Structure 1
């Protein structure tokens, strides 16, 4: 079997990343699976695992793409406005992107503390919010919003 060049590998990764982003935005995080990707790409799951060692690494395909979509839904003017806008966006039945971004973050956090991309996203959110609220209130607001998100799973 011929080895692929670094350029070909990068092209394949970009193709796979684009499909992950498409499935994620159209159907949600739960639809992004090895089986689904392998079927759509007409390749074996083992080929995908060379690029994404575990399903946590699917989040790397979304890096830099979903944060801007999610952040536009949030009101960063105060702690209470942030939390309320988070809850409103999370439960918005007409736009599932924020909900799916948070579900992905939660799934990654719950799985051994999350992938580096997940930790980075939370850190960026806190840093952005800290510009208005200060570091401590920003962390508290994000922790509170994440707590409400976890609690909402109980009510489902």
Structure 2
């Protein structure tokens, strides 16, 4: 019986984590709340809060999924292909929500800032600092119109 309970608890935690990622991708970080997760999963707000007690814990649900999704949208074969794929990706709601999270997290003093910093550093190592700055600048300008 205990194994079944542990398995159910693990499945519930996975449902909550997936709900966080789903809500984030569709509506952005600001839309993640106990209420939105509860509605998405069919669980109670209190049940959700026991699994993810705060926004920082909610961020743990990403487990690299955001960075992985982000980089899968891009073609790193050469500089021109990277720029073209980045511009196309800016039309993708999920890509924009990832980008908004990373850019917005920089201004917060939270685990999100550390996550964003690591993401920017990883990306900079992959494409070069000048290219990264160019793409981020282009993105901020494009996000003004989104």
Deviation at 1:36, TM superposition (A): 0.7
Aligned residue pairs, count:
139
CA distance in 2, matches of 1:97, 1:66: 9
Structure 2 counterpart of 1:151, from 134, 138, 141: 141
Structure 2: where are the runs of 5+ without partners? none
For the Cα contact (< 8 Å) 1:82–1:141, is it kept in 2? no
Partner of residue 28, structure 1: 27
For the Cα contact (< 8 Å) 2:16–2:48, is it kept in 1? no
Deviation at 1:89, TM superposition (A): 0.8
Deviation at 1:49, TM superposition (A): 7.5
Deviation at 1:141, TM superposition (A): 1.4
Deviation at 1:111, TM superposition (A): 2.5
C-alpha change, 1:22 and 1:155, in structure 2 (3 Å) is closer
Structure 1: where are the runs of 5+ without partners? 130-137
C-alpha change, 1:85 and 1:64, in structure 2 (3 Å) is same
CA distance in 2, matches of 1:42, 1:116: 30
TM-score (norm 1): 0.66
For the Cα contact (< 8 Å) 2:37–2:48, is it kept in 1? no
Deviation at 1:128, TM superposition (A): 3.0
Partner of residue 101, structure 2: 104
| Aligned 1:4-153 pairs, distance under 5 A | 12-25=12-25, 27-29=26-28, 30-40=30-40, 41-44=42-45, 48=49, 51-54=52-55, 57-90=57-90, 92=91, 95-112=92-109, 114-129=112-127, 138-153=128-143
TM-score (norm 2): 0.69
Backbone CA RMSD of aligned residues? 3.2
